[in-house]
Amino acid sequence: MTMEIDRNGLEVLDRVQCLGLLSTATIGRVGVTSGALPTILPVNFRLEGQEILIRSGEGAKMDVALRDAVVAFEVDDFDPIDHTGWSVVVTGITRSITDEDELERLRGIPIARWASGGNGHLVAISTDLVSGRRLGLRRR
Amino acid sequence: MTMEIDRNGLEVLDRVQCLGLLSTATIGRVGVTSGALPTILPVNFRLEGQEILIRSGEGAKMDVALRDAVVAFEVDDFDPIDHTGWSVVVTGITRSITDEDELERLRGIPIARWASGGNGHLVAISTDLVSGRRLGLRRR
């Protein structure tokens, strides 16, 4: 098994590795456009199948920003002492979950609310584009 | 002194508090548009005065994405156990630093290179819009 290294010397992670790392994390950051300006918002999330589930925050601005939008979603875990860590970036399309059956099915999936404070509706982000990098010597 | 609380119950941080937190951190995430798609990239950085300094990564795509662009820049520090932490988001304009005198002056400022692996040129991000939130009970 060969390891792909990018031009910056970082190990390139494949989709399976990236989704595996996403399944271990609970806080990510979503990059959206709000009022024609880019912004980044930390959010609690859960990976459910091939989709990222978040809750929209309260407030119309974020609701609009997450409505059928193309967004970036990033999760990382770095150790600033030993300079190891990884990052995964997803670019996907948001989808508001409004179907009653789907909401019922997802009711059992706990998404924490403390990071974003959001009490809004559930939003899924597709994982159309997934890329990841690992640096340092740590291996799974 | 009163504390401002947002609609999600998070403490609103003012500009001075936000810049103070940025000065304590060394890893942030920059949200850019690359190939017409949004993406988020973890980067080492330093706050220098009122500007964020990063190195562009190697590679033409990131160079283009950071050229006189409006970008979002985010730093956070969350404790998933006790549900405390903070986040600061900057929206600003990038500026490639090419002036020899300025490069000489900044030469003494250490910007680590391990997170992004970038060996590219120095880029400054203005801090035109700064917002921050703190959650939980921890106080500085």
Q: What is the pLDDT of residues A60-77, one digit of tens each?
A: 677 788 888 999 999 999
- Among B72, B83, B116, the residue with its CB nearest the CB of A39 is B72
Task: Decide if A128 is inside a domain.
Answer: yes
Q: Which of B14, B131, B3, B133 is nearest to B77 (CA)?
A: B133
Phi, psi of A19 (to 5 degrees): -65, -35
Decide if A72 is inside a domain.
yes
For B19, the enclosing helix (H) or strand (E) is: helix B15-22
pLDDT in tens, A79-90: 888 889 999 999
In sequence order, what are the residues at sequence separation of 6 or more whose Cβ sits closer than 8 angstroms to the Cβ of residue A85?
A76, A77, A78, A79, A134, A135, A136, A138, B115
Residue B73 located in a structural domain: yes
Query: Could you tell me what percent of chain B has a pLDDT over 70?
Result: 91
Domain that holds residue A60: 11-133
Of A18 and B8, more confident: A18
Contacts of B112 in chain A (CB under 8 A): 83
Quote the tokens at residue B24. Answer: 């304590």
Phi, psi of B56 (to 5 degrees): -70, 145
The domain tally of chain B equals 1
Q: Is residue A19 assigned to a domain?
A: yes
Q: For chain A, give the secondary structure using H, E and C.
A: CCCCECCCCCEEECHHHHHHHHCCCCEEEEEEEECCEEEEEEEECEEECCEEEEECCCCHHHHHHCCCCEEEEEEEEEECCCCEEEEEEEEEEEEECCCHHHHHHHCCCCCCCCCCCCCCCEEEEECCEEEEEEECCCCC
Taking contacts as CB-CB distances below 8 angstroms, the residues of chain B near A10 are 117
- B3 within a domain of the structure (yes/no): no
The pLDDT mean for chain A works out to 88
B93 found inside a domain: yes
Contacts of B82 (CB under 8 A, 6+ apart): B136, B138
| Contact at CB, B78 and A37, closer than 8 angstroms | no
| Residue A6 in domain | no
pLDDT of residue A140: 40
Q: Would you say residue B118 lies in a domain? A: yes
Q: What is the ipTM of this complex?
A: 0.89
Q: Do A59 and B91 touch (CB under 8 A)?
A: no
Closest by Cα among B116, B95, B87, B40 to A32: B40
Do the chains contact at A37 and B70, CB–CB below 8 Å? yes
Q: How near does any CA of chain B get to the CA of A51, in Å?
A: 17
Percent of chain A at pLDDT exceeding 70: 91
Quick one: closest CA in A to B30, which residue?
A40
In the block, tokens 């998404």 appear at A111
The domain that holds A61 is classified in CATH as: 2.30.110.10
